[in-house]
Amino acid sequence: DAKTTQPPSMDCAEGRAANLPCNHSTISGNEYVYWYRQIHSQGPQYIIHGLKNNETNEMASLIITEDRKSSTLILPHATLRDTAVYYCIVRGLTSGTYKYIFGTGTRLKVLA
């Protein structure tokens, strides 16, 4: 199973870009990278996902390195409401079944 490594915590000033890194050095060619966030014990909220190409939506951008061994989630203008735990997840086929393999998450604190 591919696993992810994330820094346990990060701070970011309000209005600045938050760049959250994730290492997934054992990722396989057909495994997707997903990002979710969880705000204070609510259910995880889907943010974005990608396979090889960089992706952007209304919430964030996902930058995946060419060798696919790492990725960065970018929140372009962080607000206080972005304070949450951010999970980098590899989703792949494991024992014939697709499963999410959660990382330990990065606790992002956006500072006023």
Q: Closest by alpha carbon to 49, among 58, 62, 37? A: 62
Q: Does 102 bind another protein (CB under 8 A)?
A: yes
The DSSP secondary structure of 48-61, one letter per residue, reads EEESSS-EE-SS-E
Q: Does 50 bind another protein (CB under 8 A)?
A: no
HSE-up (13 A, CA, CB side) for residue 30: 5
Closest distance of CB 100 from another protein, Å:
7
Instruction: Point out which span in 21-29, 56-64, 66-74, 101-109 binds another protein (CB under 8 A).
Output: 101-109
Query: Which residue lies nearer to another protein by CB, 29 or 112?
Result: 29
Site of interaction with another protein (CB under 8 A):
34, 36, 41-46, 49, 87, 91, 97-100, 102-105
